[in-house]
């Protein structure tokens, strides 16, 4: 990695930045498939702004197989990202980059049906962003609500924060994959607060967010 480089916070998108969407036709909760379904979670814009003000770059790294599955088009993905940028900006925040993996091993569109190095839990998206933006991964952070996010962040050498409102009462996937986040938080705003505490050198205060995971009986 580049020890002289900038430092960053890598954000998963769905479930961290925006709400998941309930599809009443199929009775499923999934990623939004058009900008009308895209709804920013509370506090996201100010949380991103607080990270910006600390001098950290904020970069989205997201598995987005919806095009590969035939659920939406590249134009709709662009429209959702435009909505995301606008809504975050309205809260005072700025994103420094968006990196998506569009592949899926069972894609209905053949050009996306590949086993790649960018689909999380592989760290390819973070590695690409680091190369493009000159990011020092060893002094950066990854925030996600899935085990694949934590695994990718660990593989890239970042400090990981797991967004889970259930406080690890139900972290079976972490146990199954033997993948442990460095910190457990309720949402992006709390994750940003932990990072600001760490950046201020107050690791003792941040320890309470480690203990939530451990006291939940996960390890």
Query: How high is the mean pLDDT of the chain?
Result: 90
Instruction: Give mean pLDDT, residues 130-148.
Output: 97
State residue 109's pLDDT score: 86
Q: Are 50 and 94 in contact (CB under 8 A)?
A: no
CA atoms within 13 A on the CB side of 183: 26
What would the pLDDT profile of 173-194 be if each residue is shown by its tens digit? 788 888 889 999 999 999 999 9
Q: Tell me, what DSSP letter sits at residue 143? A: E
Q: Is 12 a catalytic residue?
A: yes
Residue 6: both structure tokens together:
């900038």
Give yes or no for residue 51 having a pLDDT over 70. Answer: yes
pLDDT at 81 over 70: yes
Helix or strand or coil: residue 64? coil
26 pLDDT more than 70: no
Specify the pLDDT at position 212: 56
Average pLDDT for residues 30-40, to the nearest whole number?
A: 93
**Of all residues in the chain, what percent carry a pLDDT higher than 90?**
72
Q: Which of 12, 145, 149, 182 is catalytic?
A: 12
Residues 132 and 118: beta-carbon distance below 8 Å: no
Predicted confidence at residue 105, as pLDDT, reads 85
Q: Where are the beta strands (DSSP E) in 25-168?
A: 28-30, 57-63, 97-101, 141-144, 159-163
Mean pLDDT for the stretch of residues 142-168: 91
Alpha-carbon distances, residue 171 vs 3, 24, 202, 218, 219 (angstroms): 34, 27, 27, 7, 10
pTM of the model: 0.91
Is 96 one of the catalytic residues? Answer: no
CA atoms within 13 A on the CB side of 39: 8
pLDDT band at 167 (very low <50, low <70, confident <90, very high): low
The alpha carbon torsion through 88, 14, 1, 45 (nearest 10 deg) reads: 20
Is the distance from CB of 147 to CB of 15 less than 8 angstroms? no
Q: ∠21-193-188 over CA atoms, to 5°?
A: 10
Banded model confidence at residue 147, pLDDT cuts 50, 70, 90: very high
Strands 28-30 and 183-185: unpaired
Helices (H), 91-202: 124-133, 147-155, 172-177, 188-199
Worst-scoring range by mean pLDDT, 78-92, 101-115, 124-138? 101-115
Considering the four listed CATH numbers 1.10.645.10, 3.30.70.120, 3.40.50.280, 3.40.50.1000, the one that applies to the domain covering 8-215 is 3.40.50.1000
Q: CB-based contacts of 24: which residues, under 8 Å, 6+ apart?
A: none
What does the alpha-carbon distance between residue 169 and residue 171 come to, in Å, rounded to a whole number? 6
Percent of the chain with pLDDT over 70: 91
pLDDT of residue 215: 46
């Amino acid at each position: 990695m580049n020890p002289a480089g900038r430092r960053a916070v890598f954000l998963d998108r769905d479930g961290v930045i925006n709400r998941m969407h309930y599809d009443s036709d199929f009775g499923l909760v999934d990623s939004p498939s058009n900008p009308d379904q895209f709804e920013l979670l509370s506090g996201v814009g100010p949380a991103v702004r607080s990270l910006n003000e600390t001098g950290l770059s904020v970069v989205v790294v997201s598995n987005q197989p919806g095009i590969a599955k035939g659920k939406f088009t590249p134009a709709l993905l662009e429209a959702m990202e435009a909505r995301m940028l606008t809504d975050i900006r309205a809260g005072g925040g700025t994103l420094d980059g968006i990196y998506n993996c569009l592949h899926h091993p069972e894609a209905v569109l053949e050009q996306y049906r590949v086993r790649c190095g960018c689909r999380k839990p592989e760290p390819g998206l973070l590695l690409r962003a680091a190369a493009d933006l000159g990011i020092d991964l060893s002094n950066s952070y990854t925030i996600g609500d899935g085990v694949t996010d934590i695994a990718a962040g660990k593989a890239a050498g970042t400090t990981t924060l797991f967004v889970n409102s259930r406080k690890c009462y139900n972290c079976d996937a972490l146990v199954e994959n033997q993948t442990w986040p460095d910190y457990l938080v309720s949402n992006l705003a709390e994750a940003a607060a932990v990072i600001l505490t760490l950046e201020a050198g107050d690791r003792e205060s941040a320890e309470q967010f480690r203990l939530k995971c451990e006291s939940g009986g996960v390890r």
